[in-house]
Amino acid sequence: MDVGQPSATPLAVVAPRRARFRGLLPWLFLAPLLVPLALFVYWPLLHTFFLSFVRWNLQPGVPMEFVGLANYDGVLASTLFADAAWNSLIYVLAAIPLKVLLPLPVAVFIWSLGTAGGWYRTVLFLPTLISFVIVAVVVGWMLNPIAGHVAALLANVGGGFGNPLASPDGAIVTIILLSGWKVFGFNVLLYLAGLASIRRDLIEAMRLDGASDWTILRRLIWPLLTPTTFFVLIATVIFSLQQVFTPIDILTEGGPENGTTNFFYMVYQLAFRTFDIGRGAAGTVLLFGLLLVITLIKLRALDKRVHYQQ
């Protein structure tokens, strides 16, 4: 052994360990978020994808039978899927004017009032705080053609009243209006949050130049609100199908004649009404793929039109 050669210093040994620890440190901070996300989001998603290829009815001790793409074929060929797809399209198209476009001018009006608009914000946001179950039960009670308050009111004034929930068209319109009323105030608050970031001195400068209120809205406020509008549009399209699940389940149960069912309620019917877990999982995967494609298309088509700086 060469006693003249210096041995490795402790610093040279510890430095690589510290470097490895610094590389793991960000993951340790992210672990409280990533672990629940993996357990409660990504693992159920992967397990649902697996269940879409098997036949199973949730009975203990009954083995799963691999059936390949048969569940997808069964879902796509069913009349329930066709009705759910058509109704889902109606829900999404009706949600855009009620939940995306209409809250914008209301938010601009409240914002223009300054501190005096606080009362309007409170009134509009109150429906968001009420449980959707309670709202659906009360609406069903009011629309009851025999003992409902609406029927009694119209009877006193001499008007006839039919049950709108008894026909497919009346039922889906009722659910659309109910869902729009429930979410309207929340989207108004989102727009108000976006309006709060707009500098009022820009508006005053345009007024000094002789710009009208319509010009200010079209040339200044609307472009600066495009990030908020973009978020509201994406969230509305994604969650509009989920938001109507509760009134569908309480008021119509998907009827009459599948006139109000949508993709979310179709999955519920397949998985927890008929206990066809394979087809329910296949419907979930199809719904996930559809929402993913719609979101990617919107991101590609609308992201370039969004102004993120004033």
Q: Give the 3-state secondary structure of 168-182.
A: HHHHHHHHHHHHHHH
Instruction: Categorize the per-residue pLDDT at 179 as very low, low, confident or very high, splitting at 50, 70 and 90.
Output: very high
Query: Per-domain residue ranges for the chain?
Result: 10-40, 65-305
Which tens digits make up the pLDDT trace of 249-301?
A: 999 988 888 899 999 999 999 988 888 999 999 999 999 998 888 888 877 77
Question: 10-19, 20-29, 132-141, 194-203: which range is least confident on average?
Answer: 10-19
Residue 168, amino acid: P
84: exposed, middle or buried (Cβ count in 10 Å: 0-12, 13-18, 19+): buried
Q: Would you tell me which CATH number, out of the four given (3.90.226.10, 3.40.640.10, 1.10.8.420, 1.10.3720.10), belongs to the domain 65-305?
A: 1.10.3720.10
**Residue 237 pLDDT > 60:** yes
Question: 58-67, 154-163, 225-234: which range is least confident on average?
Answer: 154-163
Question: Tokens 């008929």 correspond to what residue?
Answer: 274
Per DSSP, the residues of the chain read --TTSPPPPHHHHHHHHHHHHHHHHHHHHHHHHHHHHIIIIIHHHHHHHHHTTEE--S-TTPPPEE-TTHHHHHHHHSHHHHHHHHHHHHHHHHHIIIIIITHHHHHHHHHHTGGGGHHHHHHHHHHHHS-HHHHHHHHHHHT-TTT-HHHHHHHHTT-----GGGSHHHHHHHHHHHHHHHHHHHHHHHHHHHHTTS-HHHHHHHHHTT--HHHHIIIIIHHHTHHHHHHHHHHHHHHHHHHTHHHIIIIITT-STTSS--HHHHHHHHHHTS--HHHHHHHHHHHHHHHHHHHHHHHHHHGGG-----
Question: Tokens 């041995």 correspond to what residue?
Answer: 7
Contact at 8 Å (CB) between 263 and 290?
yes
**In the chain, what percentage of residues exceed pLDDT 90?**
33
pLDDT value for 235: 87
- How many other CB atoms are found less than 10 A from the CB of residue 30? 11
What's the mean pLDDT in 119-133?
Answer: 88
Instruction: Categorize the per-residue pLDDT at 1 as very low, low, confident or very high, splitting at 50, 70 and 90.
Output: very low
The Cα 78–Cα 73 span in angstroms is: 9
Structure tokens at 199: 């500098």
pLDDT value for 146: 75
Which tens digits make up the pLDDT trace of 149-158?
A: 776 776 666 5
Which tens digits make up the pLDDT trace of 27-42?
A: 888 888 889 999 998 8
Structure tokens at 187: 């989207």
pLDDT value for 230: 86
What's the mean pLDDT in 82-96?
Answer: 92
Q: What is the mean pLDDT of the chain?
A: 84
pTM: 0.83
Question: 39-48, 74-83, 145-154, 167-176: which range is least confident on average?
Answer: 145-154
Residues 6+ apart with CB under 8 A from 52: 71, 72, 278, 281, 282, 284, 285
Instruction: Categorize the per-residue pLDDT at 243 as very low, low, confident or very high, splitting at 50, 70 and 90.
Output: confident
The dihedral built from the CA positions of residue 125, 128, 134 and 137, taken in this order, carries a sign that is positive
